[in-house]
Structure 1
Amino acid sequence: MTQTSPRFFGASLLALSFTIALPAHGQSNDDELKNEDIVVTAERLRGSVITEVPPIVELDAGDVASYGVSSIEDLVEELSSQTTSNRGRGSGRPIVLINGQRTSGFRDIRDLPPEAIQSVQVFPEEVALQYGYAPDERVINFILKDNYTGFGAEAEYGVPTRGDQSNTELESTFTHIGENSRLNLNIEYETQSAITEAERGIIQDQAGDLVNLGDFRTLSAPSDNVEFNGNYSRTFADGTSLSFNGGYIYDKSRALLGLASGTLDIPATSPFAQSASDESLFRYFTQFGPLRKTVETNTFQGGAALNGVTSGWRYSLTADYAREETETATDNSGDISALQAAIDAGTADPFASDFGTLLSPPITDEARSVSNTLETLATLSGALITLPSGSVTTTVRGGYSREDLDSRDITDGVTTLGSLGRDNFNAGISIDIPIADENIDVTEAIGQLSINGNLGYSELSDFGGLVEFGFGLNWEPLDGLVFTASAIGEDAAPTIEQLGNPVIVTPNVTTFDFTNGETVLTSITTGGNLDLPTEKRRDIKLAVNYSPEWLDGMTFLGEYIRNNSENVASDFPLLTEEIEAAFPDRVTRDETGRLVAIDQRPVNYSNVRSESIRYGLEFSKRFGQRRGGRGLRGAGRPGAGDGGPPPDDARPPSDGPPPEGGPESAPSEAGRAEAGRPGARAGGPPRGGGRPGGRGGGRWRVSAYHTVHLDERVLIRPGVEELDLLDGSAIGSTGGQPHHEFELEGRWFNNGIGFRVQAEHQTATRVDGGLTSSDLSFSDLTTLNLRAFINLDDRGTLTERFKFLKGSRIAFRIDNVFNDIQDVRDSDGLVPLSYQPGFIDPIGRYVEISFRKRF
């Protein structure tokens, strides 16, 4: 039987989506309407994004309420499968906009309550160019309500079902959105207790068993976190808006690293010898208690954003500053030379529990780093010229950023100072050219078509010039069917942290040694590497978004992505036999060949390639709403909304300039109306033009996605065998790259009660140890999370009888319902000590209850 190629499978799906849509085109009423002119006019909802690229997700206020979240930060996390870029670039967090405008950062909006949100739009990476960003992150736009004021407090408490840890979080938020201003203040405190190896039944080696080592090592370190965040925005009479934000974060963790240890040589002549020949004894010393590692971080942040319109062009000025101070104290075993001398002289018992002054106390290595980051960016967006096909729009950007990293580390009493700085002057331009849009005859023949391009340059003080470029195509042959294609290329310098982080040596880290097929405790060195070069990236993305008119609420999304990078700066990979052969100078073994230390500072790969297809369906409906309402639009479906004028609570917010709203703020007059095209849009957003807000009632939503990884390869350097992460190679501790990944999500909400289920599954992988090494097999992994909540205001007369419960919500959450933890086995079918379930996932099934009240 012939095996079907994954590439053929993915290509067939893309072709199928196009074929399905063709009958809809053939069934149009063009013959009846060809002699009639149809003019459609519509007012675009202020705050929405003007773009021909359809949104991936659209939510109205009712949809947001159905998630049962407490803040925008929580909502973004719930939407992670739709908001995280699949290109494998960037930070992973989407670019956020408020009412179609740039912000100085995620802090500007993260703590706003969901009750303040009117609607949400999530766009693919291509839209980022229109706001002066690189096309490696998705864009999420939050449209806020008018005249909202609220104060809320929430308490959360969670524990693993296996016990031995607790997590407590307290948070309060004040929000006021007026006609021309917005104020949001938030403070939260979170504390987490420890999980030790003993509490998870971690099996120790023989020496560890003698001293109950698991009591002195943490799998999950106790921590405390305090955060304060505030932002203020003001809109002036001319539509210009100015916003400020500031925040402070304190974080402290305290890990236990085990006990001081050492290898003692026992001469056969010693009166305490237990052998007729000389021997060595590795042992732990309980005399001084556990070794500790404390990390304390103080972060200060501030930002500002100015948005406005002048002469039909939208401008934006943003600035963001962050200062992070990190202090690390790491205990290491003390000097045993005096003890060894006493053993050699026969005056000390090497098996004693206390050696008094013969054993030196632990040595504490200290490291401190201070990073300062300033980023500024100015953008100008508008229409350059008007063609028969529509307006040619452009975004011009220019910016400056400054990064400083000062470090100091004290290791074995030796002080090392480091100081790095980087200035980055950058500029760029993107342009969008409509080929078929307002030229109706062409549009009727081929549909809507536009092309775009971008070019950028950055001058780095420590790396010289870096170039970025890209181009793309957006084609809508039929209403509801959109194809996009893009190619990007860029040079990227390693981060200043990858270059200059302080060197920290952490002892007694549990590590699996592939060469000897054993688990050992090693010293791990982390820090920066000044020898990292400039990375060159070349990416291609093809996508289809289909929302059929004949099935309201359904959307199909398919993406093909290919990434290729040269000179990639990366964390040190999993130490397999292949990796040790490629980086022999990073590995230290003793005279017996036992692994004792790994230098895990960043390394450089010659080439990294990846290729994948992701496709899926989303389907949503409303029920139980009053007559006249329509079902919830599917993600990205045009013409969303219930029809008719919006209610008072759905009017566009005043927090921003008037209707221009997005970077393409000056559409041509020709764009205000289209003639002769059935179903034509005008003035409003090409996609996502629906009215926010809902008519009440219930709603449900289901989404399912499948990712097929076609190729994942890493070439460390020419002359070294290429790593195939899909076929036995690995660079991470969790094994190779799964061939298949699945995501499933379902939500139901009605009368104040909501349920959400989220499931993820990845297929099994393996790591080949080589001819003399141990192979490892990693099982597949299925994670199922459940969330349920109840808004007490919607539950009859309960809040009338108990006034305190008014404005309250109780939520219950279970993560990893089946307590599924990846099973790792060696070639003999045994679980290596370093891959015990407690090491892989010390939390497992986790339950949490929260109580939130709005005043």
Structure 2
Amino acid sequence: MAQDTGEAPSQSAPAEQAVATDVVVTGRRGTAVSNVDPLAEIDAQAIAATGASTVAELMRTIRGVTQSASGGEPIFLFNGQRVSSGQEIFSLPPEAIDKIEVLSEPAALKYGYPPTRRLVNVISKRRFEQTEVRGMIGGTTRGNSARGTGNVGLTRLRDNARLTLGVELRHTDPVRQSQRDIVPNPDIVFDAIGNITGRDGAEIDPALSAAAGGMVTVAPVPEAVGARTLAGFAADANRPRPFDLGPYRWLAPRNDAVKGELVLADRIGDLSGSLNLSAEQSRDRNVSGPATAILVVPGSNPASPFAGPVLLNRYLTEVDPLRLHQTTTTLHAGVAVRGALAAWRWDATIALDQKRVSGATQLGVDLAPAAAAIAGGVDPFAPLDPALLSERQTDRARLRTRNGGIKTVASSMPFDVPAGGVNMTLTAEAERSSAISATRGANPSALSLGRTRIEGGFAIDLPIASKREDVLPALGELSVNGAATVRTVGGFGGLNDRSYGMSWAPFPGLQMLAQIKHSEAAPNFEMLSSPIVRITNVPAFDYRNGRTELITVIQGGNPDLLAERRQVRSLTMTLKPFAKRELRLSATYDATAIRNQTGTVYAFTPQIEPILPDLFVRDGAGRLVSQTFQPINFYREDQRALNLTISANGPLGRPPPPPATGAPPAAERVFFYVGAGPSIKFSDRLQLMPGAPTLDLLRGDTVTGGGSPRLSSYAYGGISHRGTGGTFDFWYGGANRVRNADRAANLRFAAIFKLNMGVFVGLDRLLPKQDWARKLQLKIDISNVTDARQSVRDGNGRVPNRFQRDYLDPVGRTISLTLRKLF
């Protein structure tokens, strides 16, 4: 049976004193050591009000307050201590959590991290035991793409001892193009029967042009065999026949995954530690459409009415479509050990990770046998013998990365100044990474990389004024902080980070933080080492002429990347206007300057094409043939933004009077939580190469393929009473555009609003006399309630083929039902 068996404090001591006696090294149990007030505190009632079945769901719900102003994910602590990985937190059930503290970026210094990410401190219940079985089924509301998960978990908490076990199975059906409203692309000349074109867009045949009354560069093959004459081809001259790829293509892959995890933690003597093991395998399967073929039909072929050779553009629907599959296996082992030496708290974390990715991509069909047969007289306009198309061109790629590292953090208050204790943190870290990748196929490649990183760091937090200590009390609470890290990274030499900042609370309820951070970082290892993979039949928008083309996409890593250099200046103000109410408002202004940022260009606009000519290919007629999506270094980017957050939670209504002696306890009150976070971008300017024009990403320039809105926002909230309630969250992106001189490529993106809602019911409350309903929760979630998807129109008021709503978001609205049983 799920239970919280925490012991009540002694009658002879106040609650605060009882909590304070549960000390490992410093402070109250679980509370993060920091002179910075939390941005938000979420207690067990607020957690229950979210209706979350997992910590992952819970973190998605409160993501707005945990995400840093720059968009970075938070750093997780458990009971005020570092963990070997976030998985130690995510393996817990929400019922095991007593409170969550969210602390601002400067607090990260005390735990050996740079002051650029927020801290999420998860405080667990002292004693807790629970077994859960959870199952979810759901799917899209259009097209019947089903999905489901199954989970079994065990959690035991005994003071400092902890055990969590979990197994998860996941399945997601593919989304087939035939299940969505996709209009065939009129710019694509491939068809199941075929469209005839001349070489490099030239005239097909002067005799055909004469029959059509004008020059003909494309003509569909007549469906009727008897109509395949010059007159028959001339009937629809210059009007290629479009083809519906729906039955032959998937918009989202099928996925099957299995995951297992184990967390063990306990205290041995003066040391405490934890072990985290996990393994996961995920398999994706996809169908990219029928193979394309450009076949030369000589004038001597009996079925051809043309005097000379012409090109036949066909989809080879007489054989199976092209397929892709990929399997990813990840293994993780993490160890954390903690202790104290003299006045220093220390901990060491060790992490070992391995990732294997293997896959095969069918690029096309070997056309040599078919070409020879057509040259020998076989009718090219009739379905070809599948035996001529049996040999497939396939790229097989594999990647294996291994990473092992150890990090030690020691912190203390070695001496005092008049305003209080000086907090110092020392860090030492070593890491070794290796990668082996290879591609076998038409364009084989192989790469083997190894990298060692060694670094050391120092951070200090110095109090200047303190009302509590009666030192310059008129200033309230004022401290300054600084940090420096030096590292050597194989292949990149010496890199360093440095930061300095100030924390000021002039009076209770108001806190101001100022921070300047300089950082240098080597690129992500997978960005250096990923194998080169080619994917055919990918629809891509050509920003030169506003057409959608089927192209070959080349993806992979780039071993020539440089280290990134970044400077962030930020000012944050947090206000808690009511001491006894959990209401917080926060505003952060960020000014960011980035040099040699690692990024990928997905949109080759007329401004970008001259800068990066090696990343795309056009044919003789100027049509886009292929694009290379590999990470490169962006020379310079400067951003200015304001991020606002508001969060509140607590019971509704007045508290009931205390019950009389012997009377039943008062009824539980309705509980709520709510939060919002609008973000305003003032400027975002990007220069891809030295001397290249500066792109204004807020005024219509793009590297991603879409515009960048100035205004965006999220909000979330929920209400619950006795295990039953409802939740909502939404995301809003403002209108924006991509500017282009060609009206067909001058795009306007409408504002978009996506709303998610959920309802959860404790069935034991509805059926109190049914034993099977005890601790059984039913939850219904609707994602994207209004089935909102991005709306895009060009300068002519038309929807470009590649920007059809179902292309941009093939999943759309989904509904899921979750049953969760606790024992």
Q: TM-score range by the shorter chain?
A: 0.7 to 0.9
Task: Give the drift of 1:121.
Answer: 0.5
Deviations 1:388-422 (A, max 9, x none): 1101111100010111110111121x542210011
Deviations 1:582-627 (A, max 9, x none): 1111111111111111111111211011110012332333136854
Give secondary structure in 2 for the equivalent of 1:793: helix
Q: Identity rate of aligned residues, in percent?
A: 30
Structure 1 CA distance for aligned equivalents of residues 487 and 783 of structure 2: 43
What is the aligned counterpart of 1:721 among 681, 693, 696? 693
What is the aligned counterpart of 1:370 among 400, 419, 443? 400
Moved more, 561-570 or 73-82: 73-82
Q: Is the 8 A contact 1:127 1:135 kept in 2?
A: yes
Distance change >3 Å, CA 799–CA 237, structure 1 → 2:
farther
Structure 1 CA distance for aligned equivalents of residues 394 and 346 of structure 2: 52
Q: Is the 8 A contact 1:449 1:475 kept in 2?
A: yes
Structure 2 CA distance for aligned equivalents of residues 431 and 558 of structure 1: 25
Give secondary structure in 1 for the equivalent of 2:702: coil
Task: Give the drift of 1:743.
Answer: 2.0
Aligned to 2:151: 171
Task: Give the drift of 1:212.
Answer: 4.4
Structure 2 CA distance for aligned equivalents of residues 625 and 182 of structure 1: 38
Distance change >3 Å, CA 590–CA 339, structure 1 → 2:
same
Structure 2 CA distance for aligned equivalents of residues 695 and 417 of structure 1: 67
Task: Give the drift of 1:304.
Answer: 0.4
Moved more, 155-164 or 398-407: 155-164
Aligned to 1:304: 335
Structure 1 CA distance for aligned equivalents of residues 674 and 525 of structure 2: 42
Structure 2 CA distance for aligned equivalents of residues 523 and 284 of structure 1: 15
Give secondary structure in 2 for the equivalent of 1:288: coil
Aligned to 1:617: 646
Task: Give the drift of 1:208.
Answer: 4.7
Task: Give the drift of 1:225.
Answer: 0.7
Aligned to 2:230: none
Matches within 5 A, 1:675-714: 696-714=668-686
Structure 1 CA distance for aligned equivalents of residues 532 and 476 of structure 2: 58
User: Is 1:359–2:389 an aligned residue pair?
Assistant: yes
Deviations 1:679-710 (A, max 9, x none): xxxxxxxxxxxxxxx99422112223221100
Q: Is the 8 A contact 1:207 1:284 kept in 2?
A: yes
Task: Give the drift of 1:571.
Answer: 1.7
Q: Is the 8 A contact 1:368 1:502 kept in 2?
A: yes
Q: Is the 8 A contact 2:260 2:278 kept in 1?
A: yes
Q: CA RMSD in A?
A: 2.0
Deviations 1:121-180 (A, max 9, x none): 111222111111122221111111122111001111111111330011001100111134
Q: Is the 8 A contact 1:58 1:122 kept in 2?
A: yes
Structure 2 CA distance for aligned equivalents of residues 356 and 780 of structure 1: 48
Distance change >3 Å, CA 551–CA 70, structure 1 → 2:
closer
Aligned to 1:123: 103
Q: Is the 8 A contact 2:543 2:603 kept in 1?
A: no
Task: Give the drift of 1:368.
Answer: 0.6
Q: Is the 8 A contact 2:192 2:315 kept in 1?
A: no
Give secondary structure in 1 for the equivalent of 2:299: coil
Deviations 1:689-739 (A, max 9, x none): xxxxx9942211222322110011110112321111100111213x12101
Higher relative contact order (CA 8 A, sep 6+): 1
Matches within 5 A, 1:89-128: 92-128=72-108
2:692 is matched by which residue type in structure 1? V
Structure 2 CA distance for aligned equivalents of residues 330 and 165 of structure 1: 23
Matches within 5 A, 1:817-836: 817-836=785-804
Matches within 5 A, 1:523-602: 523-549=552-578, 552-602=581-631
Q: Is the 8 A contact 2:454 2:487 kept in 1?
A: yes
Structure 2 CA distance for aligned equivalents of residues 778 and 854 of structure 1: 46
Structure 1 CA distance for aligned equivalents of residues 692 and 730 of structure 2: 39
Q: Is the 8 A contact 1:173 1:186 kept in 2?
A: yes
Q: Is the 8 A contact 1:388 1:438 kept in 2?
A: no
Structure 2 CA distance for aligned equivalents of residues 212 and 773 of structure 1: 23
Q: TM-score, normalised by structure 1?
A: 0.84
Structure 2 CA distance for aligned equivalents of residues 325 and 431 of structure 1: 40
Matches within 5 A, 1:772-787: 774-787=745-758
User: Is 1:47–2:79 an aligned residue pair?
Assistant: no
Aligned to 1:816: 784
Structure 2 CA distance for aligned equivalents of residues 838 and 773 of structure 1: 20
1:825 is matched by which residue type in structure 2? R
Aligned to 1:185: 165
Give secondary structure in 2 for the equivalent of 1:85: coil
Structure 2 CA distance for aligned equivalents of residues 363 and 248 of structure 1: 33
Aligned to 1:849: 817
Distance change >3 Å, CA 700–CA 100, structure 1 → 2:
same
Deviations 1:51-78 (A, max 9, x none): 1212122111111111111222221121
Task: Give the drift of 1:576.
Answer: 1.7
Structure 2 CA distance for aligned equivalents of residues 434 and 60 of structure 1: 30
Q: Is the 8 A contact 2:544 2:742 kept in 1?
A: no
Distance change >3 Å, CA 448–CA 165, structure 1 → 2:
same
Distance change >3 Å, CA 100–CA 727, structure 1 → 2:
same
Aligned to 2:273: 242
Moved more, 419-428 or 92-101: 92-101
What is the aligned counterpart of 2:372 among 321, 341, 348? 341
Q: Is the 8 A contact 2:542 2:604 kept in 1?
A: yes
Moved more, 618-627 or 140-149: 618-627
Deviations 1:453-480 (A, max 9, x none): 0000111111111110000100000110
Aligned to 2:473: 444
Task: Give the drift of 1:236.
Answer: 3.2
Aligned to 2:228: none
Aligned to 1:633: none
What is the aligned counterpart of 2:180 among 181, 196, 200? 200
2:338 is matched by which residue type in structure 1? N
Give secondary structure in 2 for the equivalent of 1:578: coil
User: Is 1:807–2:775 an aligned residue pair?
Assistant: yes
Give secondary structure in 2 for the equivalent of 1:379: strand
Q: Is the 8 A contact 1:577 1:773 kept in 2?
A: no
Aligned to 2:410: 380
Moved more, 567-576 or 556-565: 567-576
Task: Give the drift of 1:550.
Answer: 7.3
2:728 is matched by which residue type in structure 1? V
Task: Give the drift of 1:237.
Answer: 4.3
Give secondary structure in 2 for the equivalent of 1:325: strand
Q: Unpaired runs of 5+ in structure 1?
A: 1-39, 630-693
Q: Is the 8 A contact 2:150 2:170 kept in 1?
A: yes
Q: Is the 8 A contact 1:292 1:331 kept in 2?
A: yes
1:851 is matched by which residue type in structure 2? L
Aligned to 1:608: 637
Structure 2 CA distance for aligned equivalents of residues 123 and 160 of structure 1: 37
Q: Is the 8 A contact 1:474 1:483 kept in 2?
A: yes
1:832 is matched by which residue type in structure 2? P
Aligned to 1:71: 54
Give secondary structure in 2 for the equivalent of 1:87: coil
Structure 1 CA distance for aligned equivalents of residues 526 and 667 of structure 2: 50
Distance change >3 Å, CA 773–CA 823, structure 1 → 2:
closer
Aligned to 1:688: none
Give secondary structure in 2 for the equivalent of 1:577: coil
Task: Give the drift of 1:358.
Answer: 3.3
Structure 1 CA distance for aligned equivalents of residues 311 and 640 of structure 2: 52
Structure 2 CA distance for aligned equivalents of residues 616 and 490 of structure 1: 26
Q: Aligned pair count?
A: 742
Q: TM-score, normalised by structure 2?
A: 0.87
What is the aligned counterpart of 1:214 among 246, 250, 265? 246
1:793 is matched by which residue type in structure 2? D
Structure 2 CA distance for aligned equivalents of residues 478 and 360 of structure 1: 77
Q: Unpaired runs of 5+ in structure 2?
A: 1-15, 21-26, 194-242, 659-665
Task: Give the drift of 1:498.
Answer: 1.3
1:553 is matched by which residue type in structure 2? E
2:816 is matched by which residue type in structure 1? E
